Amino acid sequence: MTGPTVGIVGLGQIGGSLAAAIKVHGAPYRVRAWDRRTASLAMGRERGWVDEAAGSAAEAVAGAHLVVLAVPVTAVRRLLAEIAPALDQGQIVTDVGSTKASIVAEAARVLPDGVDFVGGHPVAGTERSGVEAADPRLFDARPCVLTPLPATPAGAVDRVEALWASLGARVVRMPPDAHDRVFAWVSHLPHLLAYTLTWAVLEKLQDRDLSLAGPSLRDWTRVVGSPPALWRDICMENREALARVLGEFEEELAAVRKRLETGDAEALQSLFHGAKEGRSRLWTV
Amino acid sequence: MTGPTVGIVGLGQIGGSLAAAIKVHGAPYRVRAWDRRTASLAMGRERGWVDEAAGSAAEAVAGAHLVVLAVPVTAVRRLLAEIAPALDQGQIVTDVGSTKASIVAEAARVLPDGVDFVGGHPVAGTERSGVEAADPRLFDARPCVLTPLPATPAGAVDRVEALWASLGARVVRMPPDAHDRVFAWVSHLPHLLAYTLTWAVLEKLQDRDLSLAGPSLRDWTRVVGSPPALWRDICMENREALARVLGEFEEELAAVRKRLETGDAEALQSLFHGAKEGRSRLWTV
C-alpha cells in the first residue's frame, strides 16, 4: 500500500477501527501500528488492517506523515513525552481522546517545534473494548471533532480532517474549551448522573424496595455497566469543565425543587413540555 | 360470569388490562366498567373483557364488592367525592395511582364510614395509553404495591391482594409514605432528571453542538417522550416526598462536584465502582 504513512499507537477499539476503516474505505494511507499487547497487533496484521507492525511507540511514529494516538485519555500525556524525541519537523500528531483542553495544552508543551498537534475526538465507540471490538464502519456518519488552536497551521488541520472524512466521519471544528464544555453536558454529566443516581438509590433504599424499580431506571443506569476506571479518567481529565457544568445543573435542579415546594404545576409543565418538544433537536440538527 | 363484582372506573391502559387479565387468567370475578369515552367501553365489551357496561361512575361502583379506580392520579380525588354517595358499608375501594399518601388521606376523608380504602399501585404500564394499549399480561410477575393504613381491616387488604395475585402480580405491602419515598427515588426523580437534563442541554448549548450528542444521552432522555401532563400530575401529587428526595440527591451531587474540584480520583472511582457492582441488586432481589 502506498500513500502517506499513518502511525497508529494503540490498537484497541478505536485504533483498530481506524486501521480497519482505512482498508475497507480504500483510503490512500499506509498503516503502521503498535500496541503493547502483541496479540492485538498480530490480529491487526492477520486481518490485513495493519501494513507494518512496529516494535515500539517510537518506531510506530518515526517518519509517519500522520501520527494517531489511540490510547485512553490518561495515557495520552505519558505517550506524548515518550514519542517526542522520535518526532521530526513537519510531522502531524492527533489523538482520539474524549477530553481536549488538557491534552492540547500538554502537546503544546512537550512536542518539538515544527511538529503540529491537532486534538481529535471521533464521537464513536461502544461499551466493548479492545481490537476484538473494532469495526471498520464505526465512524460512518459519526461526528469527529477537531480542536486546533489559533496558532495551528491550517494545512495540518486539513490533513487530519482529510483522514477522518475519508472514513465517512462528519468533521466538526471547535476550540478545545468549547469541546470540553459541550461533552461535559452531552456525555460526562449524564454518566455522572447515572452513577450518582444508582449509588444513591442503593444507599437510600432497602433491598426489598429495590425490587420495585421499573424499566425506566434500568434504561437510565445502563451506562453504569461501563468500566469505572475509564469514566473516572474521563471525568478527571475534564474535571474543570465538568465541575462547572455540574454546578450549573445543580442550580437548575434547585429551581425545579422550588417549583415542587411551592406547588407551581404550570412551571413544571412548561419544563416538561419544553424538554419533550426540544428533544428532537438533539439529533436532527 | 359469576363471582364477586369488580367495578372498574376508567377503562384506559391499566383499567383495560385489569379487565382483560381477569378474563384471560380466568379469575373468578364479574367485571362491570365505566369510562367517559363510550368507545373504550364498547371495545371492552366487544373483546369480552367487560361483562356489564355501566352508564356512570356511580352506577359502576354501586353494589360492587371491589371498586377499582383506574384513572390518572389527579382524577382520583375528584372521583372519590363523586362516587362516595353511591357506596355502602362493606364495600372495598382501591386505586392504581403511582402516588399514595395524598390519595389515601383523601379517601379516608371523603368515603363513608364502613367503606374501606386500600391504596394500590400496580407497577406496570408502557408509554402508550388508552384501552387500545391494554394487555392481559401487563401485570404478570410485576410488583403491585398495596398501602393499607394501620386501621385498615386486614380482610379488606386480603381481598384486594387476592385480586392482583390472581392476575399474576407480586403483591408488596408498605405504608403510603414509604411507598411515595421509594417511587420518588426509583421513578419520579429519574424522570425529573431526564426532563431537567434535556431542558438544560437545549438551553446551554448551541444547535451545532447538539448534533454531537451520542446514544447515551438518547437512552437517557427517552422517557421525556412521555405525556408532560401525566408526569406533571405525578410529580405534583408526590411533591412533598419528591422535593425531599431531590434535595437529598442535590447533596450527593454537591459531594461529587467537590471530588472533581479537589481532584479526588480515588473517591470518584469508588463511587463508580460501587454503582456498577450494586446495580445488579436493583432487579435481582
- What is this model's ipTM? 0.86
pLDDT over 70 for what percent of chain B?
Answer: 98
Please give the residue of chain B at the shortest CA–CA distance from A224. Answer: B276
- The residue type of B47 is R
Look at the block and give the residue holding cell 362516587: B83
Which pLDDT score, from 0 to 100, does residue A208 have?
85
B106 contact partners, CB below 8 Å, separation of at least 6: B76, B77, B80
* Per-chain mean pLDDT for chain B: 94
- Give the span between the Cα atoms of A106 and B63, in whole angstroms: 79
Q: pLDDT band at residue B285, thresholds of 50, 70 and 90?
A: very low
CA distance A3 to chain B (A): 31
Burial of B106 (0-12, 13-18, 19+ CB in 10 A): middle
**Number of CB pairs, chain A paired with chain B, less than 8 A apart:** 276
CB pair distance less than 8 Å for B279 and A187: no
Alpha-carbon gap, residue B62 to B83, rounded angstroms: 9
Q: Which residue of A has its CA nearest to B226?
A: A276
Q: Which residues pair with B145 in a beta bridge?
A: B121, B172
Closest CB to A172: pick one of B197, B212, B220.
Answer: B212
The answer to whether the Cβ–Cβ distance between B200 and A279 falls below 8 Å is no
Looking at residue B217, its pLDDT comes to 82
Do residue A216 and residue B243 have CB atoms under 8 angstroms apart?
Answer: no
pLDDT digit string (tens) for A254-277? 999 999 999 999 999 999 999 999
B223 touches chain A (CB under 8 A): yes
Q: For an interface test with B, give the residue of A99, A276, A280, A281 to mutate (most B CBs within 10 A).
A: A276
**For residue A123, pLDDT beyond 80:** yes
- Residue partners of B76: CB distance under 8 A and separation at least 6: B69, B95, B97, B103, B106
Query: In A141-186, which ranges are E strands?
Result: 143-147, 170-173
Q: Which residue of A has its CA nearest to B278?
A: A202
Q: B182 and A235: CB-CB below 8 Å?
A: no
Tell me what pLDDT residue B1 has: 58
Q: So what's the pLDDT on residue A259?
A: 97
For residue A122, which of A105, A137, A108 has the smallest C-alpha distance?
A137
**Whole-number mean pLDDT of chain A?**
94
Reply yes or no on whether the pLDDT at A285 is more than 50.
no
- Most B CBs within 10 Å: which of A189, A191, A209, as the mutation test of the B interface? A209
**Interatomic CA distance for residues B206 and A109, integer angstroms:** 31
Grid cell digits, residue B281: 441488586
Instruction: Give strand pairing partners of A182.
Output: none
Task: Output Rg (C-alpha) for chain B, integer angstroms.
Answer: 21
Residues of chain B with Cβ-Cβ distance to A246 below 8 Å are 253, 256-257, 260
Buried b vs exposed e over A30-51: b needs ≥16 C-beta within 10 Å?
Answer: bbbbbbeeeebbebbbeeebbb
CB–CB contact B189 A198 (8 Å): no
- Residue A238 pLDDT more than 60? yes
Neighbours of A284 (CB within 10 A): 9
Rg of chain A in Å (alpha carbons):
21
Indicate the pLDDT class of residue B61, thresholds 50, 70 and 90. Answer: very high
Q: Candidates 3.20.20.100, 3.40.50.720, 3.20.20.80, 1.10.645.10; correct CATH number of B5-174? A: 3.40.50.720
The answer for A 241-260 residues in CB contact with B (under 8 A) is 242-243, 245-250, 252-254, 256-257, 260
- Closest Cα to residue B225, out of B123, B128, B134? B128
Place of cell 501500528: A33
Residues of A with Cβ-Cβ distance to B190 under 8 angstroms: 197, 216-217, 220
Q: Where are the domains of chain A?
A: 5-174, 178-284
Give pTM, 2 decimals: 0.87
Query: Among all chains, which residue has been given the C-alpha cell 481532584?
Result: B263
CA distances to A192, A249, A279, B243 from A254, rounded to whole Å, are 18, 9, 22, 9
Residue A242 has pLDDT above 80, yes or no: yes
Q: Which residues from A are below 8 Å from B265, CB to CB?
A: 232, 236
Q: Which of B145, B182, B229 lies closest to A205 in CB terms? A: B182
The confidence score (pLDDT) of residue A112 equals 97
Q: Out of 1.10.3660.10, 1.10.8.590, 2.60.120.10, 1.10.600.10, which CATH number does the structure's domain A178-284 have?
A: 1.10.3660.10
**Range of lowest pLDDT (A32-46, B122-136, B159-173):** B122-136
B112 DSSP 8-state letter: P
Structure confidence by residue, pLDDT tens digits, B20-40: 999 999 999 999 999 999 999
**Cβ of residue A220 closer than 8 Å to a chain B Cβ:** yes
B73 touches A: beta carbon within 8 Å? no
Q: Say yes or no for a CB contact (<8 Å) between A204 and B273.
A: no
Whether B5-174 and B178-284 share one fold: the answer is no
